[in-house]
């Protein structure tokens, strides 16, 4: 069963210049980033590990050395949290408090499943390469049997996720816009 947890929308304030637009969050808006942070609570202390991933349909795939703590922990079925944030721009405002950033973000909670079998692992590895540079798989040597043995591939079903997006200009009181230095959005 899929659960979508809607984000809390910021308070909207009218602006004489350009209102802030809170776009409808979409989990599809974060499929292109190459790096995510995986958080796990399988030990007394949580840890955060930046890593790359690929999304294929309703699953995320992660690959790495079977000897790594991250792969061992996630393969054990430990619950974890994945977060991805794309910084789209810096928002300048007339007031210090009005400064912000435009972004797209998602948080996914779940458990990973080990991908077994030659064809399934090979397909996931192809998806990783194609995610980084489309068309590259046809230009490289495919993974050997030793490469496949040295790589663990995990799948994470997208069961529970929340997305949040912020776009637009600063939102300040109307009198703030008449004084320098003004506002801007820097992509």
One digit per residue, the tens of pLDDT, for the chain of length 187 reads 333 333 333 333 333 333 333 344 454 544 555 455 555 555 566 667 788 889 999 999 999 999 998 899 899 998 888 888 899 999 988 888 888 999 999 998 999 999 999 999 999 999 999 998 999 999 999 999 999 999 999 999 999 999 999 998 888 777 766 666 655 556 6
CB 115 within 8 A of CB 75: no
| Residue 31 belongs to domain with CATH number | 2.30.110.10
174 occurs within a structural domain: no
Return the exposure string of 117-139: e unless at least 16 CB atoms fall within 10 Å of the residue's CB, then b: eeeebbebbbbbbebeeeeeeee
52 occurs within a structural domain: yes
CB 172 within 8 A of CB 93: yes
177 occurs within a structural domain: no
127 occurs within a structural domain: yes
61 occurs within a structural domain: yes
**Omega prior to 158 cis, within 30 of 0:** no
Q: Which of 10, 184, 166 is nearest to 86 (CA)?
A: 166
In the prediction, which pLDDT does 183 show? 56
CB 27 within 8 A of CB 165: no
133 occurs within a structural domain: yes
25: exposed, middle or buried (Cβ count in 10 Å: 0-12, 13-18, 19+): buried
In the prediction, which pLDDT does 170 show? 84
176 occurs within a structural domain: no
- The percent of the chain in helix, strand and coil, each rounded to the nearest 5, is 25, 35, 40
The whole-angstrom separation of Cα 155 and Cα 75 is: 9
Displacement of CA 151 from its chain's centroid (Å)? 22
180 occurs within a structural domain: no
The whole-angstrom separation of Cα 92 and Cα 131 is: 33
In the prediction, which pLDDT does 24 show? 45
Domain carrying residue 35: 3-169
| Number of folded domains that form the chain | 1
Residue in the block written with tokens 């989990």: 27
């Amino acid at each position: 069963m899929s659960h979508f947890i809607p984000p809390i929308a910021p308070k909207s304030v009218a602006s004489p210049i350009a209102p802030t637009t809170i776009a409808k969050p979409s989990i599809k808006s974060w499929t292109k980033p190459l790096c995510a942070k995986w958080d796990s609570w399988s030990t007394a202390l949580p840890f955060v590990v930046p890593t790359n991933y690929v999304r294929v349909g309703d699953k995320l795939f992660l690959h790495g050395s079977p000897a790594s703590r991250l792969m061992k922990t996630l393969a054990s079925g430990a619950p974890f949290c994945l977060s991805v944030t794309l910084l789209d721009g810096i928002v300048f405002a007339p007031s210090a408090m009005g400064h912000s950033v435009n972004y797209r973000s998602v948080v996914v909670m779940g458990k990973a499943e080990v991908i077994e079998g030659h064809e399934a692992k090979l397909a996931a590895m192809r998806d990783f390469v194609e995610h980084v540079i489309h068309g590259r798989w046809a230009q490289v040597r495919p993974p050997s049997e030793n490469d496949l043995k040295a790589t663990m591939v995990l799948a994470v079903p997208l069961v529970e996720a929340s997305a949040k997006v912020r776009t637009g200009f600063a939102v300040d009181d109307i009198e703030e816009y008449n004084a320098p230095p003004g506002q801007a959005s820097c992509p």
